[in-house]
Every structure is written in structure tokens, then in C-alpha cells.
A and B are shown apart, each in its own frame.
Chain A
């Protein structure tokens, strides 16, 4: 199949500083200027997507994700590198950009639709669909300035998703809607992809990326540091920010390159995560049904009060199988002083069927405002042993088959057996 998007060594740099472009520079034919310093928002990023592909772009703020979307949508031009995009593109970089607050929902549908490249006739033919998707029926003739932010976002997404794009760019916009609307958006994205739309999805929500995309691209300081499956990309991202946090642990000054927001503070640090068997030895293979012990060794670098410990187990495609935190369990954790260490032990039943699984650990502050530490994939383990069943969980079915008496009653009865 022919590629819809080819990005070859895409690069975008911005000039640092506030200086105005001189008139001479504006008219100059040679735009290179040696005296300037530049910020490389995106540097040498290459990827290729085919119809129906879905690529998730993840990375911390300022890593260049939105810049890539702007380059793809032709809002911004690459400083160097080649970019080829095939067919109509619809971008959700900001929902409802181009809405005018004084105009009604109806007027804004036409306005926004034409800005996104639709013909009026096209908008007319999809009008009802758009209104139904956004769920703004009663407010169609109300100025959008009276809309709630949720309605505003729904209408914005509804219009962009009905452009029938060959390429759809979605930038971290679904966070505004409620859960039901998000589900609707995911369904719409999946539907578009079945019809051959190429999707590029930027999000901070790792579960959303895993759910929507097969492929993942991790951006870090303008560079693509990982490309592969979405599930692997999420792990690579987690490792990258952990490394970055570790390196800048003692620097309190915000950095210039956009990483001023530290994702992890390392006030408490995960030193070691082990699965232990009954004898207390570290193992990486467990048996279905056998008890397992998990030990998490933590070193406290700065005093922390009542940290929240959480454990998450995923299948290899990233689906969450089990997620539990001390907060949900209403366990009050102690307060730790700097330099203290602790071991968090989990006793687990392991009803998983044969397969490979991933285990993640994180420690968050009591108010959940930030992570102290987070290991998206602290370890991988496999489970062996259960025969005669497929799937994920051993539900321990017992099976009983009994012949019934001659069929006098017309409706057969089924017995459900539970152990």
C-alpha cells in the first residue's frame, strides 16, 4: 500500500530570544544567519505511515509533539527535511479553534467546517450527524459563548471527525470530554481507521495511546528516541523520563528546554522490584494458581508523608489486568524521613493463564499531585502451568455433564456450575 505520510528527517527550529526579524532578513534570499541561536523543537524525525495506521506520539511537555502535528498540518513549515502528506487532513490541535463566541452552534458548524476544508454542500449533508454526535441538539441556535466547555469540545471534535479525512491528527483534546464522550471519540477514530484514515494521536494518557494506537513514537527534547509498538513506546517513555528525573534530581532551577516540569521528583526512589517464590528466591516464572510474593525496595531521599504505593499488572499489549493502590485499599502508609528505606511486600494469588506479563510500580504523593517515582515496566514475568484453558484468567471452572431424563418438558434446563 502506498504511504499516506512520509516524514523524512523532519526538523523545526525556532530562534531563541525576542529580537525582531530585520527587514533585510525578511527580504533576504539567503535565510541562514550564523549569529542566531536556535531551539530545536523537532530534530531529524522520520516515520512513514500507511492508510489505516495509527501512531501515538508521546513525550513530556516541550518535547516537540505538537510541533510535529503543526508541521504535518502545514500550519508551520519545517526548517529542513521532507514531508509528504497524501489526501485531506483534519487536525484537532485545539478544539473549536475558529469558533466565534457570538455565533450560534449552527453558524459555527458551517464556519469551522469550511475552515477545515469542507464544502458547504458536504457540511449540509453531514449536518445532522455532526449535531447528533456532539449532542447539542437543543442548543443549536444558541451562541457558543453560552456553551459549557464540554459542549464546546464535543462540537469541535464532531466537526473535525466528520470531515472524512484521509489523515486525522488528534492532540490531547479528549481530556476535556466526559467518559461517555471519550468512548464515542475512540469509536469514531476506530471507524475512520477501518475506512483507511491514518491517525496520529498525541496524548499524555498512556492507556489511551495503548488503546488507540498500534505504533508509538517517543519524543524527547525534540528527538525521536523510540519507535515501535505502542506498548513498548509507553515503557520507553517511562524509562526516559525516569532517567531524566534522576539526572536532574538536585537541580531545582527550571530548565530552558521545556522540561521544567519534573515528572518525577525522586523524593522516594524504587531501588529494586523482585518476584519471590515461597523460599524467598527471586524468580521470573510463576505457576498458575501458586501464591507469589512481590517485594519493592524503596529508598527515601527526602522526607515524604504517607506516600501512595501502587501496583499494576498488564498483558503484553498493554491492557491493564490488575491495578491496586494503598489509597484505594485505605491503607495509611507511614511518614518517612530522609535516608530511610522500606520494603513494600505484596502477597498475590496468581490466577493468570500462560503468557508473559508486565508489572509496573509507582509511588505518588499523598495528594496525588506528582509521582515520587514510577516504573512503567518494573519487570516482566511469565506464567506457566495451567493447561486446558485459553485467555488471561483462570476462573477455575469445574465442568459437570449430566444426562437428563426423556424430554417431556419442551424447554431444556442448563445448570451453571461454580466451584
Chain B
């Protein structure tokens, strides 16, 4: 076996073990109790002064996520303009 095949097999088996172990650790239909949603419900109006909690999560608590989305949209527009540009022959 070449080196690439060995690395690919090792990566794939690690991935399979990771997914199977996470699937076995969590019980189906019973999500783990998280404190994050309680925290956001209790503190979002006091901390950010917003009545809409979803917008607070999108633009304030998880602002980097929205930054990534905006970057994806920007690169999509750049790619479309680059693909459909006028080609001078």
C-alpha cells in the first residue's frame, strides 16, 4: 500500500470511530440538557437590549458565523462575475 492509501484508511477509520462513538454516547430522542439556551433566554434582553433573541444570536453572540456567511456571499458573487466575464479573443 502506498502512503496516500494508508493515510486515507487511517483518516476514514478515525472518522467512523468518531461518529459511532458520538452516536452511542447520546441517547436517541433525549437531548442533553444545555445551559446555553437558558442563559440566552434569561440574559439577552439585559445584555444586548434586544427583544428578538434570534437576531441577537445571529448578529451578536455568534457574530463570527454571520461574518463567514457574508464572506461566502461575497466570494460567490466574485466567482459568478469571474466565470461569466467577457472573454476577448
Binding between chains A and B: no
